[in-house]
Amino acid sequence: MTVGELCVRQVAVVRKDETVIEAARCMREHHVGCVIVVEERSGEYFPAGILTDRDIVVSIVAKDPAHLAVLTVGDVMTSDLTTAREGESVAEVFKRMRDRSIRRVPVVSERGALQGVLSADDLIEYLCEELTDLAKLIAHQQRREKEERA
């Protein structure tokens, strides 16, 4: 399975010049734990960074809440961005996420335009579905074997 087949295509995006409070509101409105920071070029969005709910809590609220109202997304976003191409295998990207201890990866086209987001939650859901199907197959085979022996 490829990342493009598994990723979520509805992506919450913000610009660098928006406030952190606006980004948090965007996360709340879209019921997501991160926003992708984008630059628009020729009508397409290109990822420039990522801001997570954890970044806001751990790096801002817990450290320096007095400046929350004036901080922009560009001030606090993670700009050393790990991305995944749509055609990459889920296994490859999962390994990269694990090695870099990240939970979310923007998915981009061959040109680098934003196409979606892949999260650890998406991977877990996919793996659970696969394991459920495998368990059903095993149970079916065991029932068939019992019936054949009777």
* Domain-wise residue ranges, the chain: 3-118
pLDDT of residue 83: 97
Task: Give which of 131, 115, 130, 103 is closest to 1, Cα–Cα.
Answer: 130
> Is the confidence at residue 102, as pLDDT, over 80?
yes
At 9, the pLDDT band (50, 70, 90 cuts) reads very high
pLDDT in tens, 122-133: 999 988 988 888
User: CATH homologous superfamily of domain 3-118?
Assistant: CBS-domain (3.10.580.10)
> Is the confidence at residue 148, as pLDDT, over 90?
no
Three-state SS for 13?
Answer: strand
**Residue 31, exposed/middle/buried by CB under 10 A (0-12, 13-18, 19+)?**
exposed
> Is the confidence at residue 150, as pLDDT, over 80?
no
pLDDT of residue 107: 98
